[in-house]
Structure 1
Amino acid sequence: MDRSEPGFDAMSRANAFKSGMRRFASGVALITSAAAGHRAGLVATAISSVSTAPPTLLVCINRNASAHEVIDRSKVYAVNLLAAADLDLVDVFSKSARRAERVTSGDWQTQITGAPVLASALAAFDCKVVQRLACETHTIFLGEVLQVGIAGQDVDPLLYMDSAFRRLERAA
């Protein structure tokens, strides 16, 4: 169907958008935060660098996510880029029934903001929220990166594409 035709309704457009975005391979991250002794987190692929002066990352968080309120209240979050070896954490962070296990499974530390940082992350960015924007069902949080932790050199990233987790195959 030609997307410019009048018959291309909002539902068709939304489904086409989802199908198209599934083709976008991206790294997988755990977004974590802490407020008043409560730790929270979620799995995300909707992250992006914004600037290097100052270093800024954005995360898009659904307002229905349990971590949304914690990030909104604390004004801090960490972006933990997952290695392929951390695939088991995706199940913990994506299922509501396992919410109590989040930020307790794995080796967690804190840096400047107090947001939980995964020791085995490919890279972990400790951020303070400098701006928030409401957009439909989500909030876009822009965070100034205060500290970065980087894993060793030979670590394989966890990727997500076409509704499946993947590993990056190294060229010969």
Structure 2
Amino acid sequence: MAVDSGDFKKALQLWASGVAVVTSQSEKYGVRGMTVTAFCSVSAEPPQILVCLNQSADTGENIEQNQCFAVNILSDRQQDVSNNFSGGRSQEERFANTPWHTGTTGVPILDDSLMSLECKITEKVRAGTHWILVGEVQEVTCRAGEPLLYFRSHYRGLADKLEYTSATSD
């Protein structure tokens, strides 16, 4: 017997995750985007990721139309962007309040995100109330900064800012 959904949600609050905004664009619906925390890499060869979207989300309709989407990983300076794309605002307001440009695959890329991946759908699987989308990465954009994290229903940042250096041995 499966656990109660309340217990399940409470347990998952103990999983720290990065915060991303999935964006898409189609002729029929225009630009769409939503905040997600269910995202991970799948394969390096070919380069694939997966993201989970609620079936009721209008962003999914767009992705269905053009078969492409972007995953924009937010920096620790973009809590307002996460809130903006979390709901309660129209799609027009979300994009009016966030600097963005059109990527090479025709999807919206958030200008200040830590990293953006432009993807083409390779698989779509229904799982409970969500769609699991597997996308092959077509373009990558990386920027300097630190990630925005989400843990116990609150935004967080890294406690220690890491300096990336190459290790050498003598």
2:168 — aligned with what? none
Q: Which amino acid aligns with 1:118?
A: L
Shift of 1:99: 2.9
Alignment of 1:38-117 (within 5 A): 38-117=30-109
Aligned residues: CA RMSD: 1.6
Which residue, out of 18, 22, 41, partners 1:27?
18
- The separation in 1 between residues aligned to 2:84 and 2:10, in whole angstroms, is 26
Cα deviation digits, residues 88-118 of structure 1 (max 9, x gap): 1122111233432122322212222111111
C-alpha separation in 1, matches of 2:89 and 2:114: 27
Match of 1:164 among 131, 154, 163: 154
Check the 8 A contact 2:76/2:157 in 1, yes or no: yes
Q: In 1, are the aligned partners of 2:34 and 2:87 still within 8 Å (CA)? A: no
What is the match of residue 6 of structure 2?
Answer: 15
Instruction: State the identity as a percent.
Output: 35
Task: Verify: 1:136 aligned to 2:136, yes or no.
Answer: no
Q: Is the 8 A contact 1:92 1:98 kept in 2?
A: no
Change (3 A) 1:22 1:149: same
Matches of 1:129 and 1:150, distance apart in 2: 21
Which residue identity does 1:20 align to in structure 2? A
TM-score (norm 2): 0.88
Between the aligned partners of 1:75 and 1:125, the Cα distance in structure 2 is 14
Structure 1, residues 50-102: CA drift from partner, whole Å, max 9, x if none?
00111101110001112111111211110000011111112211123343212
One-letter identity of the residue aligned with 1:29: A
SS in structure 2 at match of 1:48: strand
Give the length in aligned residue pairs: 161
Change (3 A) 1:157 1:171: closer
**Structure holding more helix per residue:** 1
1:119 aligns with 2:96: no
State the Cα distance separating 1:161 from its structure 2 match.
0.7
> How many Å separate the matches in 1 of 2:20 and 2:118?
13
Write out the 4+ residue segments of structure 1 that deviate beyond 6 Å after TM superposition.
none
Secondary structure, aligned partner of 1:73? helix
